[in-house]
Chains A and B, each alone.
Chain A
Amino acid sequence: MFTLISKRLIQLLPTVFFVSVIIFSLQHLLPGDPAMIMAGEDNDPAVIAQIRAQYHLDQPIPVQYLFWIKGVLSGNLGESMRLKVAVSELVTTKLPVTLQLAVMAMIIALVIGVGLGILSAVYKGRALDSLVNVLGLIGISTPNFWLGIMLIFLFSVELGWLPASGYVSPFEDFWQSMRTTIMPAFVLGNAIAGVLMRHTRGAMLQALSSDYVRTARAKGLLERVVVIKHAMRNALTPVITLGALEFGTLLSGAVLTEQIFTIPGFGKLIVDAVFNRDYAVVQGVVLVTASTYILLNLLADIGYILVNPRLRD
């Protein structure tokens, strides 16, 4: 058990290294010169040369990588060229927003996905099952950004019930915060709900046909008790593992959704930075989210091993 976990941890190092290389090289392969963007409309050559020198852009790319990685290893993610703010500060201010959105989306996904998944397993083969299946597929098949646009059109433009965009911190005004985040959270949660639903259904079906459930039924327990107490508990482990992974993708995957609802989180930060060639921000934020994703992956693996003792060897 211990060796397995330490082995996984060691495997993480090259992965994180590759992440840093991928992100760094992609950034620098992009056409377009960050110094020129920085210099703005006037495009003054002296200003451009000076920015290049200031951010080591005049050095060969491997040297630039070394500059960056040296900073990262000493805990310095660099500074945003565009905003003149430390990347670590940007990360800490954006994280709560993205986290709130991710948590809300996950709650929505779990309630819809797991709830419907269990229902469809219990009513396997009946009309409800098919209906739930279709709902799940709709969730997976709707492009996030289109659903976002449609929701804004319906609830903000036509009905005027919800604000079309913007973000309010829950510590400032809890109710308003919920109102601003419910639509994007639903858009994100809806897609994951579809995935969770299908997995819950599969796992529940397996659990319901297992020996211990049959034993429980034979003992004359109520069906409700069998489903909730025996089948569900076992079926949910893989679902929760999957949930952890989906949560990891949510941290960085809400790019277009954040764009459409103007939520000032990681996704919007990265996209703005990519288009402005704000290298340090893209590199720093993706490194943070990718590392988080990898860690969550590891935790999910460990959790999986813990609940499935058979996998320990």
Chain B
Amino acid sequence: MSMQASSPPASTPLTLESPGARAWRRLKARPSALVALGVIVLLIAMAVFAPLIAPYDPIKQNYLLVRKAPSWLHWMGTDEVGRDLLARVIWGARASLSAGVISVGIALLIGVPLGLIAGYRGGWTDALISRFTDAMLACPFLILAIALAAFLGPSLGNAMIAIGITATPIFVRLTRGQTLAIKTEDYIEAARAVGNPVHRIALRHILPNVLPSLLVQATLTVATAIIAEASLSFLGLGQQPPLPSWGSMLNAAQRFLTNAPWMAVWPGLAIFVSVICFNLLGDGLRDALDPRSK
């Protein structure tokens, strides 16, 4: 798994149409991104309303229905202790989606300020932050996440923190690059000349310009984070039983590949669909927010 920074050039603020409205207009012109957005909204609704939608209790075991193939009663079949897989896939959306979104939130919270400081201050501060970021990027992503998750102790929340920290360097790098490009612009120089304090310049003037590319990167990183959560749960370091997550369902399914293959198919498909939608949305946003395109 690699994380590639993708940065559209910083937008210039001088247009008649507001940037948000223009972006929405452009996004609407991309049906694939709209469909993806729709599916994401549906997935989120599924996660939020899981107790209402799920046909069964996701942790209710039934020893008479162990590893039964999909049927009219259990559309996706049952798992190794006779729980309904459809219910578990629906409930699993909670773990996977929140892991994706919250871990990226953590990465943004740590990464953006560091990137702003590095880009704005320059000098030793920049060198220190940048070299450390490089070092983190050079270490294998999953190994870092495994070590962090094991250190914090196994739980979904800790897995999110581990993924968030591991995903931070990419946002540091992106923010720093954009800050470097913008800080010599006239209006920033002007704001500085007027005597605005540093944090105000950073928040009021630089951040809004970095925001579009951050939004794009964040959307794409949610996709990566969902896979990362699945990988950690697959290794037993994420969601704790009996509550489901798609990754831990796959972990359980691996033993029954030959005699209950359906156990592996559904959670895998669920991960795939949500990841592809976040990727499509990210692509759409990138095009919509790129000031060079029309």
* Chain A residues packing against B (C-beta within 8 Å): 11, 14-19, 21-23, 26-27, 29-32, 137-138, 140-146, 149-150, 152-153, 157, 191, 195, 242, 245-246, 249, 252-253, 255-256, 270-271, 274, 282, 286, 289-291, 293-294, 297
Measured between beta carbons, the chain B residues less than 8 angstroms from A256 are 142, 231, 234
Q: For the complex, is B272 an interface residue (Cβ under 8 Å from A)? A: yes
Contact B141 A145 (CB under 8 A): no
Contact A144 B1 (CB under 8 A): yes
Measured between beta carbons, the chain A residues less than 8 angstroms from B257 are 149, 152-153, 157
Contact A15 B134 (CB under 8 A): yes
CA distance A144 to B141 in the complex (A): 14
Q: For the complex, is B198 an interface residue (Cβ under 8 Å from A)? A: no
CA distance A144 to B135 in the complex (A): 25
Contact A137 B268 (CB under 8 A): no
Contact A146 B271 (CB under 8 A): yes
CA distance A152 to B4 in the complex (A): 29
Contact A15 B131 (CB under 8 A): yes
Contact B131 A253 (CB under 8 A): no
- The majority secondary structure among interface residues of chain A is helix
Across the two chains, which residue of chain A brings its CB closest to B257?
A: A153
Q: How far is the CB of A164 from chain B (nearest CB, A)?
A: 10
Q: How far is the CB of B250 from chain A (nearest CB, A)?
A: 6
CA distance A16 to B258 in the complex (A): 45
Measured between beta carbons, the chain A residues less than 8 angstroms from B265 are 150
Across the two chains, which residue of chain A brings its CB closest to B139?
A: A290
Q: How far is the CB of A156 from chain B (nearest CB, A)?
A: 10
* B135, B258, B275 interface centre (most CB from chain A within 10 Å): B135
Measured between beta carbons, the chain A residues less than 8 angstroms from B131 are 11, 14-15, 18
Measured between beta carbons, the chain B residues less than 8 angstroms from A191 are 1
* B264, B268, B280 interface centre (most CB from chain A within 10 Å): B268
Which of B246-294 touch A at CB < 8 Å?
250, 253-254, 257-258, 261, 264-265, 268, 271-272, 275-276, 279-280, 283
Contact B268 A294 (CB under 8 A): no
- Can you add 14 more A-B contacts, CB < 8 Å, to A14-B127, A27-B147, A253-B142? A19-B138, A19-B139, A21-B135, A22-B144, A30-B147, A137-B280, A141-B223, A152-B257, A157-B258, A245-B2, A255-B142, A271-B143, A293-B138, A297-B138
Top 7 A-B pairs, shortest CB-CB distance = A18-B135, A141-B276, A146-B268, A290-B138, A252-B140, A141-B275, A14-B131
Measured between beta carbons, the chain A residues less than 8 angstroms from B276 are 137-138, 141
Measured between beta carbons, the chain B residues less than 8 angstroms from A144 are 1
Measured between beta carbons, the chain A residues less than 8 angstroms from B261 are 153
Contact A143 B275 (CB under 8 A): yes
Across the two chains, which residue of chain B brings its CB closest to A145?
A: B234
Across the two chains, which residue of chain A brings its CB closest to B231?
A: A256
Contact B141 A253 (CB under 8 A): yes
Contact A253 B1 (CB under 8 A): yes
Measured between beta carbons, the chain A residues less than 8 angstroms from B141 are 249, 253
Q: How far is the CB of B32 from chain A (nearest CB, A)?
A: 8
Contact A140 B279 (CB under 8 A): yes
Measured between beta carbons, the chain B residues less than 8 angstroms from A141 are 223, 272, 275-276, 279
CA distance A26 to B4 in the complex (A): 24
Across the two chains, which residue of chain B brings its CB closest to A245?
A: B2
Q: For the complex, is B227 an interface residue (Cβ under 8 Å from A)? A: yes
Contact A255 B143 (CB under 8 A): yes
Measured between beta carbons, the chain B residues less than 8 angstroms from A21 are 135
Which of B98-154 touch A at CB < 8 Å?
127, 131-132, 134-136, 138-144, 146-148, 150-151, 153
Q: How far is the CB of B293 from chain A (nearest CB, A)?
A: 12
Q: In the complex, which of the residues A15, A157, A255, A274 contacts B138, with contact meaning CB atoms closer than 8 Å?
A: A15
CA distance A256 to B145 in the complex (A): 13
Measured between beta carbons, the chain A residues less than 8 angstroms from B223 are 140-141
Across the two chains, which residue of chain B brings its CB closest to A255?
A: B142
